[in-house]
Amino acid sequence: MTYQFRNSGIINQGTMNISGTAIGDGAMVVQHGSPQDRGNRRVELGVITVKSLEARAVVDILRLRRERIETTDFYCGTVADQGEQVRVAMIQNMEQGQRSTIPAFEWLKEVFRPAVVALVGIGGGFHPDIPMGDVAIATRAVYYDLRKETKHGIQRRGQERETSAAVIRAVNSFFVEHGEPARFRGDHAEFQASPCIIGTGDAVIKDAESEIRKYLKQYNDKISVVDMEAGGLTQAFHERRNPAEMVGWVVVRGVSDHADENKNDALQVTAARHAAQVLRALIPYLPYRT
């Protein structure tokens, strides 16, 4: 944040240490944001991305601009919503995984106090539930990496988190008005967006016969997308201080692979852009007031 002070004339009595001084008519002092600025810039929507291509897609489609606060770069802007302006701030994780998502959430919360946080980017789909290039919107997440290892094998203990009723109702309204699945036109082809439950953990899945895939299907057959960050977001939100300041979270994932042996990076840019496009369409429906 930048402050501007204008001064006309100066009086000094005694000995003083003076900094940031301007003398003369119209003189100006410019001071950049300080740690005291934190929490004074509330936005309606906070966005977390992981890969640079995911961040690029959100920046392009929401038309955000880079803003450095202390030593951290955020991307900020406003999105028009039926005559109102929805303020958006985005942060990119330092690395993949649940652990990096938690401090990213904390940075957003401390500096911008967003009402809703969206985790946006790419994920792996369980074929044939959601084709590659399509987008999943999740309001429930199942963390699959809690487990007990015994001599008879691994016993997994899924942990489920659900966002607030306000966000669930908002996503439901989105699908009422856009259809289920919702249909979109991308840069090169049409794609669809569907509601889902997301499976989340620390493992990269690249096997159609993976034990994790089998476990998730058994846990809930509506789990159709997996990622490595939603568990961190949902746990950080669950344990947040001052619960009344935040409304909820949502996960928007473009399917870039089928979490099997054919997994590659070919469709990541397309899937990331589709996810950002769906986020843009979802923004008018999200609840920004507690």
Per-residue model confidence (pLDDT) at position 16:
46
Q: Which residue has the higher pLDDT, 25 or 276?
A: 276
Q: Which residue has the higher pLDDT, 84 or 168?
A: 168
Task: Answer whether residue 290 is part of any domain.
Answer: no
Structure tokens at 186: 């991308």
Banded model confidence at residue 176, pLDDT cuts 50, 70, 90: very high
Q: 199 and 65 share a domain?
A: yes
Is pLDDT at 34 greater than 80 in this prediction?
no
User: Are 180 and 280 part of one and the same domain?
Assistant: yes
Bridge partners (DSSP) of residue 223 are: 197
Is the per-residue pLDDT at 89 higher than 90? yes
Q: Would 126 be classed as within a structural domain?
A: yes
State whether 1 and 144 are in the same domain.
no
What does the chain come to in residues? 290
Question: What does the DSSP 8-state code read for residue 146?
Answer: -
* Location of structure tokens 């994920």: 123
Q: What is the pTM of this model?
A: 0.84
Same domain, 12 and 50: no
Same structural domain for residues 103 and 209? yes
* Any domain includes 229: yes
In a shared domain, residues 2 and 145: no
> Does one domain contain both 62 and 206?
yes
> Does residue 6 share a domain with residue 87?
no
136 close to 255: Cβ distance less than 8 angstroms: yes
Domain co-membership, 19 together with 58: no
**Residue among 74, 241, 237 nearest 167 (CA):** 237
130 pLDDT band, cuts 50/70/90, is confident
To the nearest 10°, report the CA torsion of 129, 132, 138, 142. Answer: 70
In the predicted model, is pLDDT for residue 5 greater than 50? no
User: Is 231 exposed, middle or buried, given 0-12, 13-18 or 19+ CB atoms closer than 10 A?
Assistant: buried
Domain count, the chain: 2
Specify burial of residue 35 (Cβ count, 10 A radius: 0-12, 13-18, 19+). exposed
- The band of 6, judged by pLDDT with boundaries at 50, 70 and 90, is low
* Residue 271 placed within a domain: yes
Q: Are residues 176 and 195 in the same domain?
A: yes
Burial class (CB in 10 A: 0-12, 13-18, 19+), 223: buried
145 with 173, same domain: the answer is yes
Instruction: Identify the CATH number of the domain in which residue 124 sits.
Output: 3.40.50.1580
Reduced to 3 states, what is the DSSP secondary structure of residue 206? coil
Q: What is the rounded average pLDDT of the residues 93-99?
A: 95
Q: In angstroms, rounded to a whole number, what is the distance separating the alpha carbons of residues 287 and 290?
A: 8
Name residue 47's beta-bridge partners. 90, 118
Q: Classify residue 273: in a domain, yes or no.
A: yes
**Domain coverage including residue 24:** 1-32
Write out pLDDT tens, residues 142-160. 999 888 888 888 888 889 9
Q: Are strands 2-7 and 159-162 parallel, antiparallel or unpaired?
A: unpaired
What is the arithmetic mean of pLDDT over 118-125?
A: 96
226 and 85 assigned to the same domain = yes
